Structure 1
């Protein structure tokens, strides 16, 4: 599934530039992806689209109501989230959130889509793809340092 998601991310610069799921399915099949992987990825993308649209509607209605935002809230992870994501993924999500590059609404979508992903626990590399896809669904590109953290393997880095 994640190979399909990477292909979609690399070939469609934003979520709204991506074709409808039926047309995308034909294009993915033409590129030789396994039908089961295509189905799994399209189901996952459909959930991402729904979550992103719901978040946008929620943000707009909250902005209209002018509710104050709390900067001191804390996210508590359920046992299922802890087991499915593991310490490395939860630590990475916390890192992105405390760095100010993963707002709460996007964090919740990352968690939702990670919980819908295969793997027990989800690998950190797969989580990074999920984070990229959430940015993609909102039409945002992460800044260069975040993109570097999401795309580059830490094993090849030299400490300064």
Structure 2
């Protein structure tokens, strides 16, 4: 799934290609690119759920939590997001790249992935996708993009 998500993100977000593509057309393109139909369906469903999070007010109540509150991860979340990933999420909250709301959206989308292998680099891409899809996070998106692409220079993790 991550390969398809990264392909879509790089093809449509970081290019001048029109963002409004019909689902059938997108599915055909992904098939031509060599991805399997089953995986394409999972990714399209994952993206629909990401778009639905933006419409959902469930995360708006999080902003009323105390600034000193700590996120406690479930056993399933800890299996998917290792200690390094959880530390990275905390770091991004501390430097104001993530808010409590966007952090929860990231965790939701990580848990929505159907994959057994999940690494810190995958988490960084999910964070970037969430920030891109939530209006009002342009600054945070730019900062995250800089963090993601500056890893070659040895700046982060």
TM-score between both structures, scaled by the size of structure 2: 0.77
Q: CA RMSD in A?
A: 3.0
**Could you tell me whether the CA contact under 8 Å between 2:128 and 2:144 is conserved in 1?**
no
Which residue of the partner structure matches residue 71 of structure 1? 67
In structure 1, how many angstroms separate the alpha carbons of the residues matched to 2:88 and 2:155?
20
Q: Choose between structure 1 and 2 for higher RCO, CA contacts under 8 A separated by at least 6 residues.
A: 1
86-95 or 28-37: bigger deviation: 28-37
Aligned-pair distance for 1:122? 2.1
SS of equivalent residue, structure 2 residue 82: helix
- Identify the residue that residue 24 of structure 1 maps to in structure 2: 26
Report the counterpart of residue 144 of structure 2 in structure 1: 146
Taking a change above 3 Å as real, the CA distance of residues 47 and 68 of structure 1, as seen in their structure-2 partners, is closer
Matched with 2:5 is: 5
Which residue of 2 is the match for residue 157 of structure 1?
Answer: 154
Cα pair 1:49 1:137 within 8 Å, conserved: yes
Within the candidate set 49, 52, 55, 1:53 is matched to 55
Query: Which of residues 42, 45, 56 in structure 1 aligns to 2:44?
Result: 42
Segments of 4+ in structure 1 off by > 3 A? 20-23, 67-70, 118-121, 139-145, 151-154
TM-score normalised over the length of structure 1: 0.76
Check the 8 A contact 2:131/2:141 in 1, yes or no.
Answer: no
- Partners of 1:83 and 1:120 within 8 A in 2: no
Could you tell me whether the CA contact under 8 Å between 2:50 and 2:130 is conserved in 1? Answer: yes
